Amino acid sequence: MIEEINFLLIGIIAGTATGLIPGLHANTIALITIYSPLEKNLGFALFVISMSITHSFVDAIPTILLGAPSEESFLSILPGHRMLLQGKGFEAIQLTIFGGLFASITALLLMPFFFSFADNYNETLPLIIPTILFGTLLLLFLSEKKKPNALFIILISSALGIISLNSGIKNPVLALVIGFFAIPSLLQSVFSNTKIPEQKKSFGKGSSKTALLAGFVAGLISIFPGIGPSQAAFVSKKIFTNIGKRGYLTIIGGVNTANLLFSLLMLFIIGKTRTGMAVALNSIIEIDLEIFPVLLAGAVISIGLAAITSEFVAGKAIKITKMNYQNISKGILIFLIFVVFHFSGVTGLIVALSATGVSLFGLASKTKRSLVMSFLMVPTMLFYLGIGF
């Protein structure tokens, strides 16, 4: 048991390190472990769980402080960066941590009810995915004042998503996410001479009960096939309206952690792998009635330690605002361009720059940047409608 605990603690350290690296995908890290020369046993499985969960907490720090997202956390750039500019970056990170804790506790309490849900998972729920996504996108479009611009952004983003996802480009979502969300935010910081005020360490008014519930619901939605944490958070925000930027950050924090817990349960019940963590676990160890409680206990311990670690690291990280933020933004911008080139090649760079152009047009035309989410939503709808390219 000492060996297993050591593996879990090492996973916390590894997840903290990977979470702080801008643009690094938790699924990529989890899948790399499959090829590790280390013995694939229970201890190694606990390492994968603790690393993945810790990463889901810590990656809010570079997203909010640097505007450098992962594929799961990119939606938190928008409200998180606004709070950073108000001197509330630490509070924004705390909201994601709080959301992760609440969603985890709720998910654990509802796991007994989830068993009955999982039995009908493959037959019923995937049928309503296109309706949910279409309704959400329609509501978003109707809420825009400049509808021609909004329609153009939806159509061009959808086309770029469909082409990129079906073109054979390596890691197309990574290139699209960085192009749509990270590069525009960083360019704004570089060219607008953004000044980051001194960050307060106080915690303001907490999130509403509605926002906390929305975070849990988003985690539940994200287990549907074809819907990731980012899409689930987007849908949940449209279901639970008027939660504000604080509530939205709570959703983002809750969805990623809850998604990992539900994916562990789905793997145990019906053998479905919905996350990179689940894929890695499936290749490491056979999860039976004896192993599952141990892994679940490891997940619970990891959640508590990850929350404490994230709070501590965030407290140190906000000192970065005392440095030249323009130079930091330039450095992160260059790093993310290298990341796209390394993982997606020259074609990926073209895709990322195209997405950047669409996003900048949206900013200039005063439309919500969340419209570009159609790059994921429309291909998902078409997939479940049986329309291929």
Give the pLDDT confidence of 303-337 residue by residue, as tens digits.
999 999 999 998 888 876 666 767 777 888 888 88
Residue 7 reports pLDDT greater than 80: yes
Half-sphere exposure of 38 (CA within 13 A, CB side): 13
Residue 108 reports pLDDT greater than 90: no
Q: Are 228 and 77 in contact (CB under 8 A)?
A: no
Pick from 317, 270, 314: nearest CA to 292: 270
Rounded to 5°, angle at Cα 224 from 222 and 225: 115
3-state secondary structure the chain: CHHHHHHHHHHHHHHHHHHCCCCCCHHHHHHHHHHCCCCCCHHHHHHHHHHHHHHHHHCHHHHHHHCCCCCCCHHHHHHHHHHHHCCCHHHHHHHHHHHHHHHHHHHHHHHHHHHHHHHCCCCCHHHHHHHHHHHHHHHHHHCCCCHHHHHHHHHHHHHHHHHHHCCCCCCHHHHHHHHHHHHHHHHHHHHCCCCCCCCCCCCCCCCCHHHHHHHHHHHHHCCCCCCCHHHHHHHHHHHCCCCHHHHHHHHHHHHHHHHHHHHHHHHHHHCCCCCHHHHHHHHHCCCCCCHHHHHHHHHHHHHHHHHHHHHHHHHHHHHHHHCCHHHHHHHHHHHHHHHHHHHHHHHHHHHHHHHHHHHHHHHHCCCCHHHHHHHHHHHHHHHHCCCCC
Domain segments of the chain as ranges: 2-384
Q: Please tell me the distance from the alpha carbon of residue 304 to that of residue 257, in angstroms, as a whole number.
A: 12
Q: What is the pLDDT of residue 151?
A: 93
Give the pLDDT confidence of 221-277 residue by residue, as tens digits.
666 655 555 666 667 776 776 666 777 787 777 777 877 887 888 788 777 766 778
Q: What is the pLDDT of residue 158?
A: 93
Q: What is the pLDDT of residue 310?
A: 92
Q: What is the pLDDT of residue 221?
A: 67
- What confidence category does residue 71 fall into, taking pLDDT thresholds of 50, 70 and 90? very low
Q: Please tell me the distance from the alpha carbon of residue 296 to that of residue 5, in angstroms, as a whole number.
A: 14
Residue 364 reports pLDDT greater than 60: yes
pLDDT above 90 covers what percent of the chain? 16
Residue 159 reports pLDDT greater than 70: yes
Q: Please tell me the distance from the alpha carbon of residue 59 to that of residue 21, in angstroms, as a whole number.
A: 8
Q: What is the pLDDT of residue 229?
A: 59
- pTM score above 0.95: no
Residue 76 reports pLDDT greater than 50: no
Q: Are 45 and 78 in contact (CB under 8 A)?
A: no
Give the pLDDT confidence of 15-59 residue by residue, as tens digits.
898 888 765 666 666 656 666 666 778 888 899 899 989 988 998
Q: What is the mean pLDDT of the chain?
A: 78
Give the pLDDT confidence of 194-216 residue by residue, as tens digits.
667 777 776 655 555 666 677 66
Q: Please tell me the distance from the alpha carbon of residue 130 to that of residue 37, in angstroms, as a whole number.
A: 42
Q: Please tell me the distance from the alpha carbon of residue 90 to that of residue 318, in angstroms, as a whole number.
A: 7
Q: What is the pLDDT of residue 304?
A: 92
- What confidence category does residue 100 fall into, taking pLDDT thresholds of 50, 70 and 90? confident
Q: Please tell me the distance from the alpha carbon of residue 149 to that of residue 151, in angstroms, as a whole number.
A: 5
Q: What is the pLDDT of residue 18?
A: 83
Residue 9 reports pLDDT greater than 70: yes
Q: What is the pLDDT of residue 99?
A: 82
Higher pLDDT among residues 47 and 84, named by residue: 47
Q: Are 84 and 94 in contact (CB under 8 A)?
A: no
Residue 377 reports pLDDT greater than 60: yes
Q: What is the pLDDT of residue 216?
A: 65
In single-letter form, the type of residue at position 189 comes to: S
